[in-house]
Structure 1
Amino acid sequence: MPISYLKSHIAEIARDLSESREPLPINQNGETKFVIMDVKSYEEQEETLALLKILALGNREIEQGKFRDTEDVFAELDEQ
């Protein structure tokens, strides 16, 4: 969708984005330059990225040997 369409139809686009929750690519000179999305979709995407970062960090720590066996953790909890 060209950027000129965005400028002239912003209210309609905002309504459609809220309903469809699909991102909308915006073209400039024949190339996609921007993607717009509704706030709720953006927030959900940010949450997903944060969870993926946590998983990647956990995997990295496992690869570095920075973990404890579950049996040891549970045994320690039982002692308390």
Structure 2
Amino acid sequence: MRYSTQVKPISYLKANAAEVLLQLTERREPMVITQNGEAKAVLQDVASYEETQETLALLKLLALGNKDIEQGKVTPVGDVVARLRAKPSGK
């Protein structure tokens, strides 16, 4: 995705807020908002934002898992299976 096509000055956002929101929802591409020629903010639709947050949460879990592995904080799968089988089924 090329962000260069989605760069707009803050004056454009002020004058076309409803259109910008519709465009964000339809295209699902973020928009960079500039002020005095400098990038100041990124706008994106809610669905894309939620997907990004879910992805980041999964990546964080993976990173934490990798850290545990590096630190030797692991349990052999056979031990886990044995523990699960030993628990009462609750029937």
The TM-score normalised by the length of structure 1 is 0.90
* In the alignment, structure 1 residue 77 sits paired with structure 2 residue 84: yes
- Partner of 2:73, secondary structure, is coil
Out of 51, 55, 68, which is 1:44 matched to?
Answer: 51
- Per the TM alignment, residue 37 of structure 1 is displaced from its structure 2 partner at its CA by 0.4
> How do residues 21-32 of structure 1 correspond to structure 2 at under 5 angstroms?
21-32=28-39
Are 2:64 and 1:62 equivalent residues in the alignment? no
Unmatched 5+ stretches in structure 2: 1-7
Indicate the RMSD between aligned Cα atoms, in angstroms: 1.2
Matched residue of 1:27: which SS? strand
Give the C-alpha shift of residue 79 in structure 1: 4.4
Counterpart in the other structure of 1:4: 11
TM-score (norm 2): 0.80
Gaps in structure 1 of 5+ consecutive residues: none
Distance 1:43 1:76 in 2: 36
The alignment-based identity, stated in percent, is: 59
Which residue type is aligned with residue 55 of structure 1? L
Aligned residues: 80
